Amino acid sequence: MFSLQIVKHKMMKITLLLSFLMTAFFFNLNANAQQTRDFSKYEHKHAFHSPWIGNNKFLTDYLKEIDYENQENPMYSIPVKFYVFGKNNAPQLTDIKETIQNLNEIYAKNNTLISFYLYDIKFIKKKKFDKFGYYGQFPFQSIFRHKRKVLNIFLVSSLKKPGKKNKDLEYAGACNNLNHTVIIANGNDGSVVAHEVGHFLGLKHPHKNYNKGKHNQEAVDRDAFRGGLFLRGRNCEINGDGLSDTQAQPYLVKYTDKKCNYTSLDLTDKRGEKYNPQTDNIMSYTLGKQCRRNFTPMQKAVMLYTAAKRDKSGDWKLSFEENNLKITTLTDSFEPDFCTEIASVLKDKIVQEHTLNYFDTDYLKFSLSKRADTKKSKIVIEDGKYGNADLKIEVLKLNSDDIYLLEDKIYQKKQGENLIISLEDFTFGNYCLRITSNNKVNNSEVASYKIVSDISKPEIN
Ligand SMILES: [Zn+2]
């Protein structure tokens, strides 16, 4: 019993340019390694690939150009459309919440300056999608089911690829950059969605081509030279993921344990130098996924540059104009929480800061146990740090079989004032606060508030 109250912005009509990058093909010449340390003469000479290939200075310059160090808010807020597949055991609304929260948490902790907000959800309840096919169903479905100018995430309960001897292999995720679609098998570590969205934003695997011979392999030595007819220069800026601040590495799934320790201390590259790989990089293939939590500065630069290139019409900007209204899509770490099913949980005495975007509604759950001293219990709401508006707070009682609005418990919080809701005449049970702002009336971009519950319980001796 909930209604999807998701904002559907009218998108502008400019078509997206075909945005997959052409990779240069080159003659596989095994040029003699020249012992030169000056690579500057090879910069800006390649027309068929990303501008940082063979020229990583492009990325450090880009971070300076956008004043990365001094940015306080995200630069991009990317709308996400979810397609949820399956009939039995299909992912739920709570799984969508978890996926987007994982994505936002990892991208925020890394200061990527990129955040994501829920734009729309489509459920495709068909039995044939219960075990989603990696080769057949994913490419086919993503042709017909994707929205332009958003990040499309397919959420499935399992992603299967036929293996040898009729044994299916299970995959965690994939990215199809021809139509900007990412697929995630439900229940995986949060790094899986962060990794696939990394591909969506232009990142490659650090171990790319590690087993394709000395010429194509990324060397451990940062100053190794790579010759070739079209591509020549610093090996680590061309091979692997083309980024010098991600170390050369093998296919780590074979060389790490479940706790992400690197286990092949004697393994060398084709030049005989020992690998010393990071096992915490989100784009690596470690056996345990839980330690993949970091992006390097150059990886962040690639993602920011890709976002800027893709977002020709400016819809991914944190603030944009629509129908003469300035709209800011600032996501907080509790979103989405637009209905009781995925309400944020108020943890007692822990202050939460929430944002309310244009047309947004927040649902926050709390419960009162029989032991609670309601006379001394309260909920306090104050202005947040990102702009304010008057707020309306309604209280819903959540019973096991129904939800109803308490008509006598509707509160108004005025901008600039604190609101204290006494819980004195609340009976025990589960409650939900529904919080809306008068943004539209005030023509404010975004409202934010701090909220804390203070439930008094007598000490047990
Ligand atoms: Zn990948």
Q: If you average pLDDT over every residue of the chain, what do you get?
A: 86
Over residues 150-166, the pLDDT tens digits come to 999 999 999 998 877 76
- In this predicted structure, the answer to whether residue 3 has a pLDDT above a threshold of 70 is no
DSSP secondary structure string for all residues of 218-239: PPSSTT-EE--SS--EEGGGTS
What's the gap in Å between 175 CA and the centre of ligand 1? 7
Over residues 290-303, the pLDDT tens digits come to 999 999 999 999 99
What's the gap in Å between 270 CA and the centre of ligand 1? 23
CA dist., res. 346 & res. 33, Å (int) = 61
336 preceded by a cis bond (ω within 30 of 0): yes
What's the gap in Å between 174 CA and the centre of ligand 1? 7
What's the gap in Å between 439 CA and the centre of ligand 1? 41
- In this predicted structure, the answer to whether residue 216 has a pLDDT above a threshold of 90 is yes
| Length of the chain counted residue by residue | 461
- In this predicted structure, the answer to whether residue 412 has a pLDDT above a threshold of 60 is yes
What's the gap in Å between 295 CA and the centre of ligand 1? 14
Please, which pLDDT band fits residue 167 given cuts at 50, 70 and 90?
confident
**Percent of the chain with pLDDT strictly greater than 90:** 72
What's the gap in Å between 196 CA and the centre of ligand 1? 6
Over residues 320-339, the pLDDT tens digits come to 777 777 777 888 899 999 99
What's the gap in Å between 5 CA and the centre of ligand 1? 33
pLDDT at residue 442, rounded to an integer: 52
Over residues 189-202, the pLDDT tens digits come to 999 999 999 999 99
Q: Which fold has domain 333-454?
A: Jelly Rolls (2.60.120)
* Phi, psi at 127, each rounded to 5°: -60, -35
Q: Where do you find CATH 2.60.120.380 in the chain?
A: 333-454
pLDDT at residue 323, rounded to an integer: 77
Closest CA to 92 of 187, 175, 172, 7: 187
What's the gap in Å between 134 CA and the centre of ligand 1? 14
Over residues 447-460, the pLDDT tens digits come to 899 999 999 988 76
- In this predicted structure, the answer to whether residue 25 has a pLDDT above a threshold of 80 is no
pLDDT at residue 126, rounded to an integer: 96
- In this predicted structure, the answer to whether residue 9 has a pLDDT above a threshold of 90 is no
pTM: 0.86
What's the gap in Å between 225 CA and the centre of ligand 1? 26
Angle between helices 93-109 and 190-200 (to 10 degrees): 70
What's the gap in Å between 268 CA and the centre of ligand 1? 23
CA dist., res. 336 & res. 356, Å (int) = 11
Over residues 232-286, the pLDDT tens digits come to 899 999 999 999 999 999 999 999 999 999 999 999 999 999 999 989 999 999 9
CA dist., res. 131 & res. 122, Å (int) = 18
What's the gap in Å between 188 CA and the centre of ligand 1? 14
What's the gap in Å between 253 CA and the centre of ligand 1? 12
What's the gap in Å between 177 CA and the centre of ligand 1? 12
pLDDT at residue 232, rounded to an integer: 87
What's the gap in Å between 422 CA and the centre of ligand 1? 51
Q: What sections of 293-367 are H helices per DSSP?
A: 297-310
What's the gap in Å between 193 CA and the centre of ligand 1? 10
- Determine the residue type at 115: S
What's the gap in Å between 209 CA and the centre of ligand 1? 13
What value does the mean pLDDT take over residues 404-433?
A: 95
Over residues 116-137, the pLDDT tens digits come to 999 999 999 999 999 999 988 9
Reduced to 3 states (helix: H, G, I; strand: E, B; else coil), residue 444 is coil
What's the gap in Å between 78 CA and the centre of ligand 1? 20
What's the gap in Å between 388 CA and the centre of ligand 1? 41
Please, which pLDDT band fits residue 18 given cuts at 50, 70 and 90?
very low
What value does the mean pLDDT take over residues 137-145?
A: 93
What's the gap in Å between 99 CA and the centre of ligand 1? 17
DSSP secondary structure string for all residues of 6-56: ---PPPP-PPPPP-PPPPPP-----PPPP-----GGGTT--SSS-TTTT-T
What's the gap in Å between 255 CA and the centre of ligand 1? 17
What's the gap in Å between 263 CA and the centre of ligand 1? 21
Please, which pLDDT band fits residue 446 given cuts at 50, 70 and 90?
confident
Residue 284: both structure tokens together: 């690596």
- Contact assessment for residue 455 and residue 385, using Cβ atoms and an 8 Å cutoff: no
pLDDT at residue 326, rounded to an integer: 74
- From the CA atom positions of the chain, what is the Rg in Å? 25
What's the gap in Å between 240 CA and the centre of ligand 1? 13
- In this predicted structure, the answer to whether residue 68 has a pLDDT above a threshold of 70 is yes
What's the gap in Å between 156 CA and the centre of ligand 1? 17
What angle (nearest 5°) sits at the alpha carbon of residue 424, between those of residues 420 and 428? 115
- Choose between 401 and 60: higher pLDDT: 60
- In this predicted structure, the answer to whether residue 38 has a pLDDT above a threshold of 60 is no
What's the gap in Å between 96 CA and the centre of ligand 1? 21
What's the gap in Å between 303 CA and the centre of ligand 1? 15
- Choose between 73 and 155: higher pLDDT: 155
* Phi, psi at 81, each rounded to 5°: -105, 125
Q: What is the homologous superfamily of the domain 31-317 according to CATH?
A: Collagenase (Catalytic Domain) (3.40.390.10)
pLDDT at residue 36, rounded to an integer: 42
Q: What sections of 66-132 are H helices per DSSP?
A: 93-109
What's the gap in Å between 251 CA and the centre of ligand 1? 11
What's the gap in Å between 22 CA and the centre of ligand 1? 18
- In this predicted structure, the answer to whether residue 177 has a pLDDT above a threshold of 70 is yes
Please, which pLDDT band fits residue 46 given cuts at 50, 70 and 90?
low
What's the gap in Å between 200 CA and the centre of ligand 1? 10
What's the gap in Å between 65 CA and the centre of ligand 1? 29
Over residues 360-378, the pLDDT tens digits come to 899 999 999 999 999 999 9
Q: Where do you find CATH 3.40.390.10 in the chain?
A: 31-317
What's the gap in Å between 145 CA and the centre of ligand 1? 21
